[in-house]
Structure 1
Amino acid sequence: MNIKILSRSSKLYSTDAIVQAAIKRKHNIQVIDPLKCDIVIEKRKPEIYYQGKKLDHVDAVIPRIGASITFYGTAVVRQFEMMNVFTTVESQALVRSRDKLRSLQILSKAGLGLPKTVFTNYGRDVSGVIEHVGGAPLIIKVLEGTQGLGVVLAETNKAAESVIEAFNGLQARVIVQEYIKEAKGADIRVFVVDGHVVGAMKRQGKEGEFRSNLHRGGTASVIELSDEEENAAIKAARAMRLGIAGVDLLQSERGPLILEVNSSPGLEGIEKATGKDIAKSIIRYIERSI
């Protein structure tokens, strides 16, 4: 097959892992920077040019679209869809996954467990917002934040009021969530491909850090999911209509709670933690789908 990876760099761990997995399975694969693609829109004749050359005879694309290039990257994915090319992540699913508020609403409708969340349009009743999630400690997240950026743990109601009012003053939209104390600064990343869990790891934040992101000093270890956790991850990926998804969840006294569903999950942490060839699972997903 002729496969294209939409990625800013071939040197990224995830991109290179997928390239090597495709080569091992005898496929032709090329990394193309979506920002260097030109989209030609014409009646019944959608085309894409990359570095002056028309891209044709493409069987599948694997979007690895970073949050900072969502708009143009999604347009490129959508153009491939118009050319009847299979994509491991559909353009609309990618857009939905980047909207934290919309994602939570979709997951809520699907009946999945979530930390209690409040969103207001710069509302002045800050104390009421805090009360809705059970008071401090609580989590405040900027809607446009990624990889742990724009996430604040407020230990007291007074601190929470100050942070929320500051964000409101900057007109930065935030959501306020209850703090799940029993999670103890850890979460679980579940990697779902084509409706199946292909790997899972537990991420533990470093001492004094409530965020478990690996690039912030967190550690990762393999974990065996409970049936409830596995089912929740699969259901979350399905609700978001993502063929490939990194589902982040918390272990709580009331069962698994979904934090986020990532449409371009990294492979490095989970492959090293689990010893599993996740990239191979992605290539096999394409093989089954075409």
Structure 2
Amino acid sequence: MRIGILSRNPTLYSTQRLVNAAHERGHRVEVIDTLSVTVHIGRTDAQPGKPQRLVGNAIGLAGTTLLPEFDALIPRIGTSVTFYGLAVVRQFEAMGVMMTASSDAIARSRDKLQSLQLMVKDGLPIPRTAIIAQPDALYAAVEAIGGLPAVVKLIRGTQGRGVFLAHQLSTIATLLQRVGELNRQAILQEFIAESRGQDMRLIIVGDRCVAAMERRAAPGDFRANLHRGGSATALEPDKSTVALAVAAARAHGLGVAGVDLLSSKRGPLLLEVNSSPGLEGIESATGADVAGAIIDYVEKMAAVKRR
């Protein structure tokens, strides 16, 4: 097969692992810088009845270079290029290329509020969450999620950035005001004290958990993200936790996902679903061949499409 990987940086660990795993299985692989792709819509040289082609590394219509036809595409769209990345993914979809994550699925996972709404719609457990538009609704909203302290999260953020623990209403009000001034949005979320700065990351591929780790926050922090200085160890999740993670990935329409959960007195709670989970931390912590599992999934889905 010819497999394309959308990635801003071909030297990133996750990208390199996917490339190597594909080569080991005899596939041709091309890493495409998402921002190097020019999407031409309504090309004048398209042949009637045939799909229009995606054009890369081009300005205008003259002297363009057509990208090769791919049997499958793995989108690794960074948060900072979400808008343009989704446009590129949609164009590949219009061309009929098999994707490990659709543009709609990526968009759902990038919006933390929509992501939580999707999971609740499917009856999945999450921390109590609220969003407000008026300052005078703050007190009631905080009480509804369990009181102080409370977590304030940017709706669009990654790697623990834009996540704050607030112990006073005045702090939350100030954070929300500053977020609004930046034309951003935030949610209020219940603080799960009993998690003690620990969470779980499960990698779901298809309907299987191929790797899992427990993350611990750095001293003095409540965020367990590895990019925030946290540490990780391999985890053997129970069947109910795996079932929750699989259901969360399915709720977003993702075939490959990193699903984050917290332990609580009410049982495991779903935090986030990541459409482009990093592979370095979890492969290092567990020794699992996550990249290989993803390529195996691509092979399986491509075979289904050919039938």
TM-score range, shorter chain: over 0.9
Determine the structure 1 residue equivalent to 2:52.
46
Residue segments in structure 2 that go unaligned for 5+ positions in a row: 43-47, 58-63, 303-307
Structure-to-structure mapping, 1:70-109, within 5 angstroms: 70-109=82-121
Q: 1:84 deviation in Å?
A: 1.0
- Within 1, Cα distance between the matches of 2:39 and 2:175? 42
1:116 maps to a residue whose letter is R
- Matched with 1:273 is 285
- Is contact 1:122–1:171 with CA below 8 Å preserved after alignment? no
Say if 1:165 and 1:214 are closer, same or farther in 2 by CA, change over 3 A: same
The aligned length equals 290
Tell me how far apart the structure 1 counterparts of residues 68 and 18 of structure 2 sit (CA, whole Å): 21
* Structure 1 residue 188 corresponds to structure 2 residue 218: no
| CA shift for structure 1 position 38 | 1.6
Once the 2 structures are TM-superposed, how far is the Cα of residue 171 of structure 1 from its aligned partner? Answer: 4.9
Query: What's the CA shift string for 1:79-109, capped at 9, x where partnerless?
Result: 1111111011111101111111111100000
Aligned position for 1:198:
210
> Does the aligned pair in 1 maintain the 2:160–2:227 contact within 8 Å?
no
1:119 to 131, 143, 163: 131
Cα pair distance change 1:169/1:19, threshold 3 Å: closer
CA distance in 2 between counterparts of 1:36 and 1:246 reads: 27
User: Which of 160, 164, 182 is residue 172 of structure 2 equivalent to?
Assistant: 160
Amino acid paired to 2:52: P
* RMSD of Structure 2 on Structure 1 (CA): 1.5
Q: What residue in structure 2 maps to residue 132 of structure 1?
A: 144
Amino acid corresponding to residue 30 of structure 2 in structure 1: Q
Identical positions, percent? 47
- Give the unaligned 5+ runs of structure 1: none
Give the Cα separation in 1 of the matches to 2:240 and 2:93: 34
Aligned counterpart in structure 2 of residue 228 of structure 1, from 240, 264, 270? 240
Deviation for aligned residue 1:272? 0.3
* 1:103 match: secondary structure: helix
1:17 alignment counterpart:
17
Secondary structure of the residue aligned to 1:206 is coil
SS at match of 1:125: helix
Which aligned runs of 4 or more in structure 1 are off by greater than 3 angstroms?
156-172
Q: Secondary structure at the match of 2:263?
A: strand
Render the CA deviation track for 1:216-250: whole Å, top value 9, x for unaligned.
11000001101111110000000110011000000
1:89–1:160: structure 2 CA closer, same or farther, 3 Å change rule?
same
